[in-house]
Amino acid sequence: MTAPSGPEAGRAHGPSGLQTPAGTVGPVRVVGTGLLGASVGLALRALGVDVVLHDPSRVTVLLARDLGAGRLPEPSDPPPALVVVAAPPDVTGDVVAAELAAYPDAVVTDVASVKGAVLAALTAAGADLTRYVGSHPMAGSERSGPTAARPDLFVGRPWVVVGTEASSPEAVLAVRTLVTDLGATPVMLDARVHDEAVAVVSHLPQVASSLVAARLRDADPAALDLAGQGLRDVTRIAAGDPALWTSILAANARAVLPALRATRDDLDGLVQALEQVVEATGPHAVPGGALGTLAAAVAAGNAGVARIPGKHGGARRAYDVVTVLVPDQPGELARLLGDVGAAGINLEELSLEHAPRQPVGLASIAVLPGLGTTLEAELTGRGWTVAG
C-alpha cells in the first residue's frame, strides 16, 4: 500500500522512509483533514507518497480517506518522517507541540496563516524546535472541508517557509521539498516579516471587504440594483468563514492591529474632511484642506495598488487592456478567445463583466504591453466590437 512505483522506488532514505520520485520522504502524517490538509494528502498520494490521516472529527477523516487523500493509521505503522499540521490557527501551537513529542524523529510543519503565535506557543511549551519549521501556503478558497480539497490547490502559489535559528538544515530542507513537490514556490521569510505581510495583503483586505459588505445588510433594495463590478470585486472575499477569520485575526492580532489602526485613522481623517464639507455654507466655502485630504487618500491608493506585481513580475497596469462586447450566448466567449489565440497573442488576464439581467457582457482582455493595438486590429477584423 505504501511502496511508490517508478525508477526511484525502493531507494532507501533514512530509517523509516522511501525516497519518492518527488523527493518527499514518507510516511507523511497529516493532522487535520479539512481543505488544506486533504489537499496536501491528495497531492502527495498522486506522487506515490504514503499518507496517514488524522482528524479529531471521525467524519472528516473518513471523508478525506474516501476522497483519496490518504489512509487511516495502523498499529504496525512505522513512525512518520514528516508531520503536516493543518489545524485552525488558534489550536495549531498545541497540536504541533503534541506531534513533536509523540514522534521524536519526525520533522513537523504546519500550514496556519499566522506564524509568530504558533512559534511563541511552542517556545513556551519547551518544544524541540530543531525539528519544527512553520509554513503557510498562499492558497485557499471561500469553501472549506475535505470536499473542497484538490491536489492542485498549491500549484503555482507562493508558499512561505518559516525556519527559525533553532531549525535544523534537514528540517528546513524537508519542508522546502514538500512545498516544491506540491507545485508551490517556496518563499523563505521569518515569522515577524510573514505576519506583518499577511496582515497587510490578506487580513486587512478581509476586514475592509467585510465592513463594506456589512453596510449592504440594511441598504435599500434599490441600492443593490445599482451594484456594479467595483462593489462585487471589493466584497467577494466578504463571503469568508467567520469562525476561521476570527481565529486568524486573533492569532495575528499584534501584526493586524497597526494596519487596522492606521486605516481607522485614515478613515477618521476622511470623516472629518467630509464633516467640514457638509458644514461649509456653500460649495465655494469648502476649506481647501478638506478637499486635499480626500484627494490625498485616493492618490495614496493609486500609489499602493501600482505596487502589486503582475503575473510576469511587473506592475499590473503595464498590461494593454482590450475590451470587447460579447453576446450572452453559449460559445461566444470561446469564439472570442479562439480568435485571440488565432492571433498568436497570449492572454495575461481576463475578466468578464455582466450587467444584471442583460444579454451582453464585456470581456476585458489584458495582454503584454505593445500587443493591445495588434489585438484590437485582429479582433475588429474578425467582426468583434472592440470597445476600448
Q: CB of residue 21 vs a copy of itself: minimum separation in angstroms? A: 20
**70-78, 137-145, 172-180, 376-384 -> range binding a copy of itself (CB under 8 A):** 137-145
Dist. CA 36–CA 67, nearest whole Å: 14
Q: 153-192: which residues touch a copy of itself (CB under 8 A)?
A: 153, 155-158, 160, 185, 187, 189
User: In this chain, which stretch among 14-22, 66-74, 343-351, 376-384 interacts with a copy of itself, using CB under 8 A?
Assistant: 343-351
Give the residue with the Cβ less far from a copy of itself, 12 or 303.
303
Determine if 346 is a binding residue for a copy of itself (CB under 8 A).
Answer: yes
Number of residues that bind a copy of itself (CB under 8 A): 150
Nearer to a copy of itself, 106 or 179 (CB): 179
Residue 12 binds a copy of itself (CB under 8 A): no
Q: Min. distance of Cβ 164 from a copy of itself in angstroms?
A: 17
- Candidates 326, 321, 312; CA nearest to 375 is 321
Q: Out of 98, 234, 318, 368, name the contact with a copy of itself by CB under 8 A.
A: 234
Stretch that binds a copy of itself, among 25-33, 101-109, 169-177, 211-219 (CB under 8 A): 211-219
Three-class DSSP category at 366: strand
Does position 285 bind a copy of itself by CB under 8 A? no
CB-CB neighbours of 234 under 10 Å? 14
Using the rule CB under 8 A, give the single segment among 53-61, 125-133, 164-172, 276-284 that binds a copy of itself: 276-284
In angstroms, what CA-CA distances link 339 with 305, 320, 347? 31, 17, 11
Q: Decide: 347 and 367 in contact? Cβ < 8 Å.
A: yes
Shortest Å distance, C-beta 154 to a copy of itself: 10
To the nearest whole angstrom, how small is the minimum distance from the Cβ of residue 137 to a copy of itself?
11
Minimum distance from residue 126 beta carbon to a copy of itself (Å): 15
* Of residues 310-329, those binding a copy of itself (CB under 8 A): 310-313, 316-317, 323, 325, 328-329
For 185-248, give the DSSP string. Answer: EEEE--HHHHHHHHIIIIIHHHHHHHHHHHTTTTS-HHHHHT--HHHHHHHGGGGS-HHHHHHH
Residues with Cβ < 8 Å from 150, sequence gap 6 or more?
Answer: 39, 42
* 340 near a copy of itself (CB under 8 A): yes
- The residue among 59 and 387 lying less far from a copy of itself, judged by its C-beta, is 387
Residue 334 interacting with a copy of itself (CB under 8 A): yes
Distance spanning both ends of the chain, measured CA to CA: 58
Q: For residues 188 and 173, what is the distance between their CA atoms, to the nearest angstrom? A: 11
92 binds a copy of itself (CB under 8 A): no
Instruction: Give the H/E segment covering residue 152.
Output: none
Contacting a copy of itself (CB under 8 A), which of 1, 66, 222, 281? Answer: 222
CB neighbours of residue 208 within 10 Å: 17
**Whole-number minimum distance, CB 14 to a copy of itself, in Å?**
31
- Judged by CB under 8 A, the residue of 46, 145, 266, 318 near a copy of itself is 266
Kindly give the residue spans of alpha helices, DSSP state H, lying in 81-203. Answer: 89-102, 116-124, 169-181, 191-198
Of the candidates 23, 1, 31, the one whose C-alpha atom is nearest the C-alpha of residue 111 is 31
